[in-house]
Amino acid sequence: MKKRRMFDITLPDDPAEALPETFPAGKVEPRRGPMASAIAETVETVRERAEIEAQIRAENDALAHEHMRLRKLGLVVDLVPLDVIDQYKLVRDRKVGVDIELRDLCASIRELGLSNPIRLEARDDGRFELVQGFRRLSAYRALLEETGDAAAWGAIPAVVTAPGEGLENLYRQMVDENLVRKDISFAEMAQLALDYARDPQTEERDPEKAVAQLFKSAGYQKRSYIRGFIPVVERLGAHLRYAEEIPRALGLTLAKRLEEDESFVPMVREAFRDWDGRSVADEIATLRRLVGQGEDEAAPPTAPAAGQAPKAVKPAKAKTSFQFDRTEGRGKCVAAAGKLEIVLDRDFSTIDRRKLEQAVRAMLDQLDR
């Protein structure tokens, strides 16, 4: 009789665990047909493409918002054709007439390019209004007219802002930019205050109050000097050719003389009548003569101490000074008896001695012709 073998069998607590997830005996997992596989792959590809497109759209939206943010901050530069830029909205702070230094600016831009873009305001009609950069725009137009090269000079780099900014803010922005210029004169600033008060689109009609609005960034003393030049520009400007070259002390003296002497305006008008060929030095020297001063007014004589002989008062030395523009910035020339001084932001010691000597000789020879 055979012995029966006994096996230890461990049954799971959960009967469901005893049944593996398999197909019934004799059955196999069904295989997909070619059509079903192709459909499944297409669905997966479409889903992945939709996810990628959604991601690209989100990135483009973020870039568009960032672009608009940078544009509002004035950090986006566009190339704007010259023929769609107008200059009607703001009265410029530069003297109307021939800009004798524009040639130097054109040469600098031609050689080095435009280092600082102009600023424009977009208009609803697709054109643009100039806010800052009058001389830079003038230089581009001059280069286009001279060369005819529209590819190089037909469009100018510009920061473009959205339309609708208040006129007062636009004036302030123009003024604040020009306050950092070394060559902006008190006469030019006074003229801008006058033009601002005369502009029918602005609310202020008093030029002295316009100074307070336009030149908030300037100190109290500087604003006082600008106000002092207002009568000079307003009453003498039509008879002067180089008002922007009037030094501060002379300008304030002229303003005082205008206040005290009603006959001074006819005197100035007569002095420059038919004198078309006068230079800056001629005009400044004539104004000094009319108000009775030299380059530097002599200090009033003091009474001598007891027992001392009075000292002879030396007459003030005649001087001529004028400013000029170069690519290095605004320079100054002072001419006096036995002295000719040129002040410019440039290290002349780096120039070869023989070259410098030749330039000085050539300049002096030119003066003798």
Q: pLDDT higher for 54 or 268?
A: 268
Does residue 347 have a pLDDT over 80?
no
- What pLDDT was estimated at residue 276? 84
Q: Please give the pLDDT value at position 217.
A: 74
Per residue in 153-188, pLDDT (tens digit) is: 999 998 887 776 555 666 666 665 555 454 578 898
pLDDT of residue 214: 81
Q: Are 121 and 169 in contact (CB under 8 A)?
A: no
Per-residue confidence (pLDDT) for residue 93, from 0 to 100: 46
**Per-residue pLDDT reduced to its tens digit, 252-271:** 999 999 999 989 999 999 99
DSSP 121: E
Which among 160, 152, 151, 145 has a CA at the least distance from the CA of 85? 160
Of 214, 235, 237, the residue nearest 226 (C-alpha): 214
Q: Which has the higher per-residue pLDDT, 313 or 322?
A: 322
Mind giving me the DSSP string for 130-184? EEE-HHHHHHHHHHHHHH--HHHHSEEEEEEE-S---HHHHHHHHHHHHHT-TT-
Number of helical H runs and strand E runs in the chain: 12, 8
- Does residue 134 carry a pLDDT above 50? yes
Instruction: Centre a 10 Å sphere on the Cβ of residue 148 and count the other Cβ atoms it contains.
Output: 10
Tell which phi-psi region holds residue 307, choosing left (phi > 0), alpha (psi between -120 and 50) or beta: left
Structure tokens at 153: 């000079």
When pLDDT is averaged across residues 33-54 and rounded to a whole number, the result is 74
pLDDT band at residue 12, thresholds of 50, 70 and 90?
low
Provide the angle, in degrees to the nearest 10, between the axes of the packed helices 248-260 and 220-236. 60
pLDDT reported for residue 6 = 59
Question: Is the pLDDT assigned to residue 24 strictly greater than 90?
Answer: no
Residue 291 has pLDDT above 70, yes or no: yes
AA letter at 265: V
Hey, what are 183's tokens? 């060559």
Q: What is the pTM of this model?
A: 0.45
